[in-house]
DNA sequence: TTGATTTATTACCATAGGTCAATTTTTTTG
DNA sequence: CAAAAAAATTGACCTATGGTAATAAATCAA
């Protein structure tokens, strides 16, 4: 399958493009195979790209001054991932991105992105809507962090990411929920009992 | 001052418009005076609009099943506010929005917004960038909630919203930080002692 | 397959922050 | 300005979650 077809069929499912537009897309995106355990991005690096996950699983995490990891986001098939704060402002990453399950990605640079917006205006709509959904889901997460107990957050997580639980380590989930692995263990035990 | 001029000078400071575009903007936005303590939006209501804050202070909060309030966002001069999850998906509000200090707002409906995007494409860029910044700031908040203690979060808050602290009640800040007013009191006492 | 390494569980104690209730301070209203 | 209402503080006690450490289970690599 040509990369043009692949892009159009995986990333931009609901859009139609002219031949020239497809060419342009194919030139802007690069396909990437990423093995499990590899780091896609490290804190301190300049962030040029964002990545579409065609297959596999990754996570974005922040390492605090005490060295503890905090998972900000998981990304599976059909999600986008980057250190967006850095990507948007063309600055250095605060976060790390790790590949949790062998992944296939399509990457595009911010620069190419801006050019595409100019040349294919419908992409601006497409990405604005994507941002809106991402924003809404972050907002839900903030509410969940404020209003729910650890075990409620765990249940929300399992419900929201049903396909992820198998792929990730307990300490990934714990660091996403903002608790220790020990607490997660206890919570699960309680839930089985309860 | 005409509403056209007002809009262009307050909301869209860095953009230039043709006469017709300004007309269109003026027709799409409505100016609103909102007194302190009034509710701009209540959970359960259909969300049609988003609001630009020209002056004053508002907050978005969620009321959990136990009746506790959780402040998701403050908005002062130059910020936008709405229940964005509901606004984007044209659904019912989960959040409430309360006016904390007498406010002057400009509101625009989602419908008019989408029309404007079609007629004035540069607005799509403008709002995409706004979304990007909002997204980045939510991401920071998530990290802060995961990685920081209550007193660290309080210091970050004071630092990030230096002008808001005077305007809001302690219980607003506490509910933003995810703690009780009692804890906030204790934290402040500790910080003064040093 | 087996030993080595990584990950998960459990137990015990410590602590940040919550709850309830009383009191003081601040703000609002007539 | 005084009385009433709202907000903030404080204290005593409680609970959820954290930290440390030991053990068990699972995964990986030779």
Q: Please indicate, yes or no, if residue B112 is contained in any of the structural domains.
A: yes
**Among the partner residues B68, B84, B129, nearest to A139 by beta-carbon distance:** B84
Instruction: Please state which of the ranges A3-17, A105-119, B23-37 shows the lowest mean pLDDT.
Output: A3-17
For residue B2, the model assigns a pLDDT of 84
Any atom of strand D under 7 A from CB of A35? no
**Does the pLDDT value for residue A64 go beyond 70?**
yes
Q: Is the CB of A178 under 7 A from strand D?
A: yes
In this prediction, residue A92 carries a pLDDT of: 97
Angle, CA A58 vertex, CA A26 and CA A122 arms, to 5°: 35
pLDDT in tens, A109-120: 999 999 999 999
**Domain assignment of residue B165, yes or no:** no
* Residue B194 pLDDT grade (very low, low, confident, very high; cuts 50, 70, 90): low
Q: Which two tokens stand for residue B87?
A: 């606004």
Residue B71 falls inside a structural domain? yes
pLDDT at B5 (0 to 100) = 83
Residues of A in contact with B183 (CB under 8 A): none
Binned at pLDDT 50, 70 and 90, residue A46 comes out as: very high
- Which of B2, B58, B59 is closest to B29 using CA atoms? B2
A155 touches chain B (CB under 8 A): no
CATH assignment of the domain containing A84: 2.60.120.10
Shortest Cα distance from B149 to chain A (angstroms)?
11
CB-based contact (8 Å) between B90 and chain A?
no
pLDDT of residue A109: 98
Mean pLDDT, residues A60-66: 95
Q: pLDDT by residue (tens digit) across A104-145?
A: 999 999 999 999 999 999 999 999 999 999 999 999 999 999
A163 belongs to a structural domain: no
Pick out the nucleotide with least CA–C1' distance to A169: C7
In the 8-state DSSP scheme, what is residue A96? Answer: E
How many structural domains is chain B composed of?
Answer: 1
Per residue in B44-69, pLDDT (tens digit) is 999 999 999 999 999 999 999 999 99
Element (H, E) at A113: helix A110-119
**Is A131 in contact with B133 (Cβ distance < 8 A)?**
no
Q: What is the pLDDT of residues B139-157, one digit of tens each?
A: 999 999 999 999 999 999 9
Q: Are A177 and A150 in contact (CB under 8 A)?
A: yes
CB contact under 8 A, A68 and B147: yes
- CA dist., res. A48 & res. B167, Å (int): 39
Reference B108, options B40, B175, B170, B26; nearest CA is B26
Residue A193 has pLDDT above 80, yes or no: no
Nucleotides of D under 7 A from a protein CB: 7-12, 16-21
Assigned domain for A158 exists: no
Question: Is residue A194 predicted with pLDDT exceeding 80?
Answer: no
Q: Is residue B103 part of a domain?
A: yes
Average pLDDT rounded to a whole number, residues A54-81: 95
3-state secondary structure of B41: strand
In a domain, B77, yes or no: yes
Q: Mean pLDDT throughout B80-103?
A: 95
What pLDDT score does B185 carry?
97
Hey, is the C-beta of B161 within 8 angstroms of any chain A C-beta? no
More confident: B41 or B166: B41
Per-residue exposure over A121-147, b if at least 16 CB sit within 10 Å of its own CB, e if not: eebbbbbbeebbebbbebbbbbbbbbb
Based on the number of CB atoms within 10 Å of its own CB, is A108 exposed (0-12), middle (13-18) or buried (19 or more)? buried
pLDDT the model gives residue B6:
83
Q: Is the CB of B180 under 7 A from strand D?
A: no
Domain containing A14: what range?
3-147
Output the pLDDT for position A96.
Answer: 97
The answer to whether A146 contacts chain B (CB < 8 Å) is yes
Q: Can you give the distance from the CA of residue A144 to the C1' of nucleotide C11 in angstroms?
A: 30
Q: Is residue A46 part of a domain?
A: yes
Q: Do B132 and A88 touch (CB under 8 A)?
A: yes
Q: Which of B52, B76, B184 is nearest to B130 (CA)?
A: B52
For range B151-171, the mean pLDDT? 91
Q: Which pLDDT belongs to residue A58?
A: 96
CA-nearest of A134, A124, A155, A135 to A79 is A134
């Amino acid at each position: 399958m040509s990369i043009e077809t692949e892009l159009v069929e995986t990333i931009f499912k609901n859009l139609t493009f002219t031949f020239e537009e497809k060419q342009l897309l194919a030139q802007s995106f690069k396909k990437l195979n990423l093995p499990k355990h590899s780091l896609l991005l490290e804190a301190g690096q300049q962030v040029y790209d964002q990545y579409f996950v065609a297959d596999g699983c990754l996570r974005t995490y922040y390492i605090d001054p005490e060295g503890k990891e905090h998972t900000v986001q998981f990304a599976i098939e059909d999600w986008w991932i980057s250190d967006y704060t850095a990507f948007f402002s063309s600055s250095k990453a605060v976060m790390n991105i790790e590949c949790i399950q062998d992944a296939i990605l399509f990457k595009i640079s911010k620069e190419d992105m801006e050019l595409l917006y100019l040349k294919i205006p419908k992409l601006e709509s497409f990405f604005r809507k994507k941002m809106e959904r991402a924003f809404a889901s972050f907002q839900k997460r903030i509410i969940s962090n404020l209003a729910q107990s650890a075990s409620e957050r765990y249940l929300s997580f399992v419900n929201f990411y049903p396909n992820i639980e198998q792929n990730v380590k307990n300490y990934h989930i714990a660091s996403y929920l903002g608790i220790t692995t020990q607490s997660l263990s206890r919570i699960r035990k309680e839930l089985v009992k309860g």
